[in-house]
Structure 1
């Protein structure tokens, strides 16, 4: 009957309790009550940073009630309806008590629970009053338990009626001190560190990782504040995040992240994609999809939009008009991850409401005045550390910049304005650096390169040469892969695409990473190559570096769908020129791409395949068309794309079908090539 609370899905300080059903078995209800009471009493061993007295008194009272419930169970007593009714009310209240205990001891929630002390004390008071009300209607004389137990229950009823459950004076003092610190920041005054440390000692926040967990928790709370009422709390939460970020850097000198924190950072490494952001919009609402799902026709929509469509009685696909075989909605986890990464990179926060999905650019401006001043102070502190600190201090500063600039545009602008980029570049040029220092420095530059002014500062300070040196011969493979991603963001500026392409070692270094990197590194190098190809004169350099054969090898051997799709995107771009088509035709690409057209599940991958084949026909002449015409399995795949593919894929598939039909017609009349433009012959493997 009891479902374990899921901390990820339940917002903090929400209490989704449910009343037991009316016809529940008394035995099941009693067993569930005992389980709940045990769960609440187990919090006795937990550390309560705040609300200590209220929590202790609540646990004590429920512990006494547990004795009562267990005696009823052990004696197998029959419960009259009036007792069952009372127990149902207690069960409902116990659920809420359990949620409250869970929140008061939740990892990373110490500061937020402190700042909600008045509300939480009131919740304890309300819940104990709920227990008192239930015990008032309990016909104790109808329950055959021993006299001592009855006396205990009567005592609990009496105490729960009189218990005050007020705000603890020490909690109130700590809360006022935090508010005073935020006031200092708002006025542009750095608060005294001893003043801050008193609060941290009170909350038992003793280390860098403790502080980091508080920040992560509050950032998660911010992302779930979606109603108009909850939105009002976001500026205050932002102030607390700014305050804690300042403290994490200034107070805690030593990085003591636990193993799972290191894993989290490594798993969250930059992974690029050739996907068009327009693919992230729901075809129905045209809004960014927050919960993309795929229906039976293979089309993807935002869950809320397609559910409204189906609820209205529509049983056909909105995009294709095809009748739905079923109404099953399959979550598209891969696309959701890409959308979240895109939003993080661009300072977009996706928030779900009962009305409509919406995207809010939260991080372009500071969340609050105190947060803004805290980050400005912090940025200057980090810049000084990068210039004058020890190697250990410089490494920590680079790591902190990496975290601060991860998904916050305002933070990036402050860090850039404070002058952190030149010393980060110097760290990469220094002979006295470690693998970890190099990785953190290049990762920090990657985050800052996403900002328009960051790109400019990097290039103007000779950063391109430094980043290319890391790409070519960095101390660790991870740093090389991050360097490739940094080049991608720099290449978003047309002038820098030209500059990177004209640097002799740039494109060959990317090709080497495609050959020898991890899947993640290969993807970054491939997508960076795609970005460089947006400058036409880079096509010749990419071809000269032997890129095509390396990409064809990936298509023939890789099992990573995203890497295959991105490799196809680069080949499609190269195939648009005669030189590119000739180079592609000199490899085994034709056979591989024709096979992928039939085997790939990615619609974008199929579109790239058709685009390549179409370009090869245009630039390669009748010999290419003849090879395609001989493959009887090609036509069904092309026809499928005309109905199931995107508008671009459908158009390209129709064009290729038309070329092949013309070839069939002229061939059957003995007029080979009369309707096909005669390009110079090419050698096709």
Structure 2
């Protein structure tokens, strides 16, 4: 039995192919990795060896991480790097690949030949060619070059960073504006697939992408049927509205923009979670500081009910966004009325407290505070609607949750709301059987909570 178990264990580990330390653990035997095949930083087998100006060779991912941390010296020699250029060591990489092939009977896989990262010069050259083709109105040449940019981005995060740092986002924003409204949409779809990871795009890029022509085109994609294009368009829109309020104002003036965002939310995260989160973020920016008229438009489209349904089994980031939008909608009378009507409202808000995140706690408390104070009245706990919601909150355990919140600590703004709510609860606590009526807080001062 023991021998059989060892054999199965050896077979299991033979398929793991993990390159760590000085050896490869292949079950019952160890294969020694030649020391010059190992990266001096991680001691792992190098997959993409590159040589620095000091003559030392490292795995590209390891030395990239070293430099990104702000280090300006060679890790082994401690010499100051005259340049951060990395020269691919093709000879060593070929030797490593041959060694892997020789040991494949032991479960070692041959490392793939890495692609050489794009350089700033190459990015600048393509940038210039795209701008020139855009000025000529050469659609096909722009499509060819943008496809090349997209392929670069797919190769590595390093390529994306290089293009972002060399203003490719600004270039593509200008091209998008130029061809916005064109009957042939393939080029625009390619640009939208690239733009989400090109931010920040600079002031010039913002002016191009934030123009009325570009924004109308983005909304047109939001209203379309192609899921990928809609996802990319709303992702671009989310990044844009987070930069400047003027973009938010401009989008709200475009017919169909609000309806398109709510439609994506209505489809739910099961269809496309990325698009749903981006849409919620857009709505959050749009209602922050907006008039009650704007908020009422979202309410009329059924957004309050959609948010509550989404909160039932939403994961953390989605839950935070949904609560943030709901908190904004409860500023207006119509939003509160819809919340009052929905039986899920109070149970969900109380349930989410202390279960998701600090931010979710703050949003949940703020929503309950707005509902219980009933902003049409004076917030003294005597209004009929106010009493009804207070009693419901008590019945689902809000009183106990608030006490715990005070114990674990919360921000001053939320602490004030919790304290005020506890005082309102204290007026009706004796009417609810599920709360210990002996816990009377009417004699405690605000500072004691």
TM-score normalized by the length of structure 2:
0.66
- Tell me, yes or no, if the aligned pair for 1:507 and 1:542 is still in contact at 8 Å: yes
Matches within 5 A, 1:538-557: 538-556=294-312
Residues 80-134 of structure 1, C-alpha deviations (whole Å, 9 max, x = no match): xxxxxxxxxxxxxxxx45636997972232xx23x468446xx9xxxxxxxxxxx
Output the CA distance in 2 between the equivalents of 1:457 and 1:448: 14
Aligned partner of 1:460 among 192, 204, 211: 211
Output the CA distance in 2 between the equivalents of 1:611 and 1:240: 53
Matches within 5 A, 1:476-495: 477-492=227-242, 493-495=244-246
Question: Do the aligned partners of residues 534 and 467 (structure 1) sit closer, same or farther apart at CA in structure 2, a change above 3 Å counting?
Answer: same
Question: Do the aligned partners of residues 232 and 380 (structure 1) sit closer, same or farther apart at CA in structure 2, a change above 3 Å counting?
Answer: farther
Question: Do the aligned partners of residues 624 and 496 (structure 1) sit closer, same or farther apart at CA in structure 2, a change above 3 Å counting?
Answer: same
Matches within 5 A, 1:31-180: 38-40=31-33, 96-97=35-36, 99=38, 106-109=46-49, 112-113=50-51, 115=52, 118-119=55-56
Aligned partner of 1:377 among 107, 112, 125: 125
- Aligned length, in residue pairs: 362
Aligned partner of 1:639 among 403, 416, 422: 403
- Tell me, yes or no, if the aligned pair for 1:533 and 1:539 is still in contact at 8 Å: yes
Question: Do the aligned partners of residues 116 and 449 (structure 1) sit closer, same or farther apart at CA in structure 2, a change above 3 Å counting?
Answer: closer
Partner of 1:415: 168
Partner of 2:391: 629
How many angstroms does 1:506 deviate by?
0.8
Output the CA distance in 2 between the equivalents of 1:572 and 1:624: 17
Residues 564-623 of structure 1, C-alpha deviations (whole Å, 9 max, x = no match): 221011101111233322232233342343442457342322221111010112236442
Question: Do the aligned partners of residues 39 and 594 (structure 1) sit closer, same or farther apart at CA in structure 2, a change above 3 Å counting?
Answer: same
Output the CA distance in 2 between the equivalents of 1:497 and 1:228: 45
Question: Do the aligned partners of residues 99 and 373 (structure 1) sit closer, same or farther apart at CA in structure 2, a change above 3 Å counting?
Answer: closer
SS state of the match for residue 210, structure 2?
A: helix
Output the CA distance in 2 between the equivalents of 1:568 and 1:482: 24
Partner of 1:658: 423
How many angstroms does 1:527 deviate by?
1.3
Question: Do the aligned partners of residues 555 and 427 (structure 1) sit closer, same or farther apart at CA in structure 2, a change above 3 Å counting?
Answer: same
Partner of 1:671: none
- Tell me, yes or no, if the aligned pair for 2:221 and 2:233 is still in contact at 8 Å: yes
Output the CA distance in 2 between the equivalents of 1:665 and 1:235: 76
- Tell me, yes or no, if the aligned pair for 1:575 and 1:616 is still in contact at 8 Å: yes
TM-score normalized by the length of structure 1:
0.45
Partner of 2:336: 581
Question: Do the aligned partners of residues 615 and 457 (structure 1) sit closer, same or farther apart at CA in structure 2, a change above 3 Å counting?
Answer: same
Matches within 5 A, 1:182-581: 219-223=64-68, 226=71, 236-237=83-84, 239-240=85-86, 375-384=123-132, 387=138, 389=141, 391-400=143-152, 408=161, 411-412=164-165, 414-416=167-169, 419-425=171-177, 429-434=181-186, 439-448=189-198, 450-453=200-203, 454-460=205-211, 462-473=213-224, 475=226, 477-492=227-242, 493-516=244-267, 517-537=271-291, 538-556=294-312, 558-581=313-336
Partner of 1:132: none
- Tell me, yes or no, if the aligned pair for 1:409 and 1:451 is still in contact at 8 Å: no
In structure 2, the gaps of 5 or more residues are 1-15, 88-111, 113-117, 376-382, 433-441, 443-449
Larger radius of gyration: 1
Please tell me the root mean square deviation across aligned C-alpha atoms, in Å: 4.3
Output the CA distance in 1 between the equivalents of 2:73 and 2:390: 58
Residues 308-355 of structure 1, C-alpha deviations (whole Å, 9 max, x = no match): xxxxxxxxxxxxxxxxxxxxxxxxxxxxxxxxxxxxxxxxxxxxxxxx
SS state of the match for residue 503, structure 1?
A: coil
In structure 1, the gaps of 5 or more residues are 11-15, 19-30, 44-95, 124-213, 242-260, 262-369, 668-674, 676-685
How many angstroms does 1:459 deviate by?
1.9
Output the CA distance in 1 between the equivalents of 2:290 and 2:360: 23
Partner of 1:25: none
